[in-house]
Structure 1
């Protein structure tokens, strides 16, 4: 594995960092002020995001996430990793470059598995940043860590499918620009357990859909993005909206979740880096018990541990990305699972230490640390909880040793 960034990656990274310095960091307060200015009606498009999107397009920093595709920058997963890390330093910045979840995963689904008609109707406006999307998989009434438990029904009725069920943690469904859902549900309860499920495109304005409520994360509503509970009652969509065909849901999910998981990890490394920088600057600027806080020996230990852990997580992320590019997602599944467990844990420890050095300010809205902690803590559940990934890792390890015996 080559550890230096490719010339193309380095060019994008230099330009992205310059953009972040010129437009993202100076507008963090603008973003917060505009969102706060909405008052109780926070589910609105934030003007600074739309303004910066146009600047990102003009700077050719747009759709960077699609690997080896003429629809985006055509970067490999390995080349995209440091760019996603840079965006992860400010949680909302990924949207500015049209690289935000769940749209990235949904666009990849449409690019890989959608028909030409699906791509024209939904992928093209998503790629243009004109609309947003949501992914409806998790359900409140079952243990969704085992996706075979999903109960939402997708039943064929002539030239249509009829959908009934409840979904929650449907991230992005609160955005007024959200126009399309990709939904996973059960088409054949009698089939073998991994071919019971299918994925289908559901326009958000279809009759029978009710967004019941938003679900705060540690008290944060994440407006206007939001995480919503969605009820579907006798929702009818054309039969042509099924992706790949009945029983292909798990196949599509694996294709979607692999890149989605590593993108989360890439951004998480960026959040950890920023937390470490804030920690060090805070420690060097405050005096306690006669010397700078950063000169207290306990902070030497915490800073050193943070640097070691971040570097370790970054290397594992890069290895997983490199394997995805060279041998494919299936062969890289263990590395993807390992970093999905490791990256959030590392980031949470670094952020926790940063909160500690800030004291009361660390748990307030005066720093990005509290909201970063809340968001990244959810990643230990999103796209599969730690325990599911650890189970997969352990099984692969036992299989490897059994084959060697």
Structure 2
């Protein structure tokens, strides 16, 4: 049923990606950590280097300069890219751009693809996705959407507030979800549209995100008919098309950080002496390593199976939802153990673990909190059980 072998050409690519991240990306981390304002220029420099190394844009079609990988192959590449917080930025497979590229490629018109998808795929611009709203608007429950779009002749007028819009500052365009008479609809809004305003950069636990997490406002924001992405009233359907794969790519990338955290911790306990022997010889250290290794392995298998479903053309909502819950919480546990294994150095800035710890915490919340996913998973499983019993 499943073939876990890696074909030779992909093996070669994985070696290239691993070398690129280790030799080009990881050495730039200290620079960005010392000067966060360097994130954007370093991102551009690394993308240029990634093109030269032949590892740029794993999911983008070859005719646009990408690698044209399917979901299963992408899982392996994204994990290696994710070994550095800068890796997905360098390879142009980071959120929210990667999810927006997937959506534009799937439902965008040809003019929309030329105007928005192509420059995004080439790494020439950044984008953002605006759905989350301040209370009582849409959050984990998208049905609470308050932002409205009203038709006015051959234009639409969008009004509403959004927040925690990742990457909004400096984004060339926004994909905005708004309620219309026909139902929720997605609109493409240029970043320089006078009706679109960034109100504030939200201070958050994580810092390694180009464009930050912003509060934005749409005020009498006028867009033309050709700004509608896909069809009017089908915004929720398109959101699911974007969010299923988007959840899975988060899992792929963050698993890379977990793997690197475990590597750092194992290197430390293999060199540090305590109570007359190496830390690695203490049974408690061995238990922590074993638990992290088991969770890494389990996470990979869940990701690969969900990727297999996507490659078969399935929506894979159940599989990606389960992967999101398990991997998000496993990654948090693995990084937490790595910090603990390294003791005082783990919480210092001498190692990158403290930074990893800050950055991964949000993974349990965005793209659907673990609690919301568990409820959805439970509902689906119970529904199937009732159906089986009635048969």
- Scaled by the length of structure 2, what TM-score is found? 0.94
1:257 to 243, 253, 260: 243
Partner residue in 1 for 2:40? 46
Q: What secondary structure is seen at the aligned counterpart in 1 of 2:233? A: coil
Deviations 1:264-296 (Å, cap 9, x if unpaired)? 001121111111111111112222222222222
Tell me the number of residue pairs that the alignment of Structure 1 and Structure 2 aligns.
386
Contact 1:6 1:79 in 2 (8 A): no
Instruction: Report if aligned partners of 1:216, 1:222 keep a CA contact under 8 Å in 2.
Output: no
Cα deviation code 1:341-396 (max 9, x no counterpart): 00011111111111112223322333222222222221111111112221222122
1:278 is matched with which residue? 264
2 CA distance for matches of 1:357 and 1:45?
Answer: 30
Equivalent in 384, 390, 404 of residue 368 of structure 2:
384
| Paired position in structure 1 for 2:11 | 10
Cα drift, residue 69 of structure 1: 7.0
**SS class of match (1:154):** strand
Partner in structure 1 of residue 192 of structure 2: 205
Q: Distance in 1 between matches of 2:368 and 2:127?
A: 20
255, 261, 268: which one aligns with 2:254: 268
Q: 2:140 aligns with which of 137, 145, 164?
A: 145
Task: Report the equivalent of 1:352.
Answer: 336
Q: Among 315, 327, 331, which residue is 1:343 paired with?
A: 327
State whether residues 168 and 229 of structure 1, in contact with CA within 8 Å, keep that contact through their aligned partners in structure 2.
Answer: yes
CA contact (8 A) 2:25 2:86 kept: no
1:180 pairs with 2:173: yes
Deviations 1:203-223 (A, max 9, x none): 1111122211112322x4435
Alpha-carbon distance change, 223 to 304 in structure 1, aligned in 2, over 3 angstroms? closer
* One of 352, 357, 361 as aligned partner of 1:373: 357
TM-score (norm 1): 0.91
Counterparts of 1:270 and 1:75 in 2: how far apart (Å)?
Answer: 18
Structure 1: segments with no counterpart, 5+ residues: 37-41
For 1:57 and 1:47, locate their aligned partners in 2 and report how far apart those are by CA, in whole Å: 16
Residue 315 of structure 1: how far off its partner (Å): 0.6
Q: Does 1:110 align with 2:104?
A: yes
Which string of whole-angstrom CA distances, capped at 9 and with x for unpartnered residues, describes residues 10-40 of structure 1?
222121112123211222223334x25xxxx
Partners of 1:45 and 1:357 lie apart in 2 by 30
Do the aligned residues in 2 keep the contact of 1:215 with 1:221 (CA within 8 Å)?
no
* Residues 214, 336 of structure 1: alpha-carbon distance in 2 compared, 3 angstrom cutoff: same
Counterpart secondary structure, 2:58: coil
- Could you tell me which runs of 5 or more consecutive residues in structure 2 were left unpaired when the two chains were aligned: none
Cα separation, 2, equivalents of 1:163 and 1:48: 35
